Structure 1
């Protein structure tokens, strides 16, 4: 029934039914999200927070309801801790510039992991260039897991911030973020968790994790592109200066001074992606109605089936062979370039991702330029994994 909620899965590619296995890049949208966006544009298209007319009030209510839905989804303590952003990239950059930059200097260290997406590497390199701080990296092991045994050596009095991905977009590996957060907090070091890939797959409880910041990208969790949330503990957000200046984030402006608005408006300058935010709220409601526990169970069924089937393909190398992972498979076929595989199986209707997946350091570790990546959602089926395997066999027969 849940699969039927996604009309985009009914498309055809090259005359064949679509097999969509690129969910780590962006997921399909359920009809409820599409309807929520359409409803805004059709029936209450107006700017929010600033109008007393009916359309503006209706739009404002829908937008703020979406904030509350996201608060409930990740179990934040207050709606004041929920900042609308365009996605995880903007959320990380906001924290890097408004929270971390003024708290580090020469000799200080920022700690990330080897499994990070470029959007959780480059912002910290920029901060290090600006301040003289140094970037440290939790190393990875051959199976794709992090070498957590190195944490005690890496976290010290010089460590001022930790930023780590919850689920690897390239390998699907689920990192022990709660353990990392606890170790960091023993040294009074705040932690940001990149939740781009975890929110669609796992039950997230930011209070239980005790993370200081958590980022969410809407388009990974069945919401519109350009939507997302930065969660931050209220005490941190209160202490942070605004990152963008403009309308909405002010309470008073004169030519002599500006008094900033309270949370969450302080970080939401300008007219936002209203439709995207409303769609994000609809996606959160969809996930909660579907039940994250059901999604986790389905993910593990697909992961087990995918591992068994893909391992039968001759010449295949699968990266990230750990038990605790999402249904994401990064692989190469011996003697065949990943781009050639992706192009050929596209003609079989199978959509996967090829390249380095914005995680160049991971594939440098494995000594390859990149990989194919099949990333599944709960709406995928075992028969689609079979179709992927059949398409890979055809590619192999054609190219070797």
Structure 2
């Protein structure tokens, strides 16, 4: 079942958080979709900046600033290569996916008018819903959700029908955060572009697992966070085509983003500075660079194969446990099925019979198992599935079959306790 060439233990040892005990139990971390753990090299890179190079970037002649600036801008180049963007100007540093989407939604305000249509993935994270609602409130535009199938996947027929309305913008998820569904975004973007729509793709759940080529995807904007890809919190990326980024009015103004300032008039600078006002999250950007370097040293095909094997095993073991409902897996249901899906990535959403998901999560935590419980910032999806919330187990490169077996055994103990 496991890839014999994959040295899981060598990778796992690089993550100090995973070495701890929770009470009498070693930590079994299955919440990577919420935030990934950080390898020691990321922690060291951030610490080294504060110890050796602590200075603001772009603004001074002294050596500390020069070193900090060089490291900071090197990460922009790394991100460009990671997502295969056309130029460094297309890589904007933000504080995370949420800020990236808000920057686009705010920046396009003057481009929208009453009754313009914004199509939004019906299974999207709230961060890819609420900013568009705020844009609609400011401008009189309309937010319309793209319909879902009974299992929570995008309904492609509904999407095609909605595109006939000539939307101004289409907001999609590359991989949905609650269910781990992989969407055919290249095809979805192409169809939207045929109707003249701008396109934004939320890549927060995809970036650590998939090869991302923004030029092949063809989207106007692609956004993601560092903390989902083994980097630090507080840093994210807004990618855009040059035309799409130049359409945006800056959400923040002040220092760094200007060309000239007088009390009579201010002229904004060029990309990427125009969209990066103020002192940035320098240590976090440097930490993101260390995470990219860490990932680049791994054999990506092996990593992807390992993650596919772990996800399939997790789905199989859950479906065989009995009294489990899996969500987002076609044909899944209660008890004795063997539901698996190759269209899911990184995460499995489930409930135990009619038990409250929070109770299940707390009882798992008492056995050292960390999973996510709640609506996963996807309340419209939960309403569609006719549930208030669910548990979600999600995997990273550090998880192995032993983790999943521990989780299944713990969940079985919870089942015996509650049912």
Match of 2:332 in 1: none
8 Å Cα contact 2:166-2:195 kept in structure 1: no
Q: Once the 2 structures are TM-superposed, how far is the Cα of residue 294 of structure 1 from its aligned partner?
A: 2.7
Aligned partners of 1:227 and 1:346: how far apart in 2? Answer: 28
Q: Once the 2 structures are TM-superposed, how far is the Cα of residue 8 of structure 1 from its aligned partner?
A: 1.3
Moved over 6 A (4+): none
- The correspondence of residues 105-184 of structure 1 with structure 2, limited to 5 A, is 105-156=113-164, 158-184=166-192
TM-score for the superposition, normalised by structure 2: 0.93
**Partner secondary structure for residue 230 of structure 1:** strand
More deviation, 294-303/83-92: 294-303
More deviation, 149-158/72-81: 149-158
Paired residues in the alignment total 399
Tell me, yes or no, if structure 1 residue 284 matches structure 2 residue 278: no
1:60-109 deviation per Cα after TM superposition (whole angstroms, max 9, x unaligned): 0110011111111111110000000011100000000112x222211210
Match of 2:314 in 1: 306
Match of 1:340 in 2: 359
Match of 2:389 in 1: 370
**Partner secondary structure for residue 301 of structure 2:** helix
Match of 1:274 in 2: 282
8 Å Cα contact 2:120-2:172 kept in structure 1: yes
Q: Which runs of 5+ in 2 are unaligned?
A: 1-9, 330-340
TM-score for the superposition, normalised by structure 1: 0.98
8 Å Cα contact 1:103-1:160 kept in structure 2: no
More deviation, 358-367/152-161: 152-161
Aligned partners of 2:301 and 2:391: how far apart in 1? Answer: 28
Q: Once the 2 structures are TM-superposed, how far is the Cα of residue 314 of structure 1 from its aligned partner?
A: 1.9
Q: Which of 89, 103, 106 does residue 97 from structure 1 map onto?
A: 106
8 Å Cα contact 1:339-1:355 kept in structure 2: yes
Tell me, yes or no, if structure 1 residue 297 matches structure 2 residue 305: yes
Match of 2:6 in 1: none
8 Å Cα contact 2:172-2:185 kept in structure 1: yes
Aligned partners of 2:121 and 2:354: how far apart in 1? Answer: 30
Q: Once the 2 structures are TM-superposed, how far is the Cα of residue 151 of structure 1 from its aligned partner?
A: 2.2
8 Å Cα contact 1:213-1:233 kept in structure 2: yes
Q: Once the 2 structures are TM-superposed, how far is the Cα of residue 238 of structure 1 from its aligned partner?
A: 2.3
Q: Once the 2 structures are TM-superposed, how far is the Cα of residue 157 of structure 1 from its aligned partner?
A: 5.2
Aligned partners of 1:271 and 1:186: how far apart in 2? Answer: 39
Match of 1:75 in 2: 84
- The correspondence of residues 1-400 of structure 1 with structure 2, limited to 5 A, is 1-99=10-108, 101-156=109-164, 158-321=166-329, 322-400=341-419
Q: Once the 2 structures are TM-superposed, how far is the Cα of residue 281 of structure 1 from its aligned partner?
A: 1.2
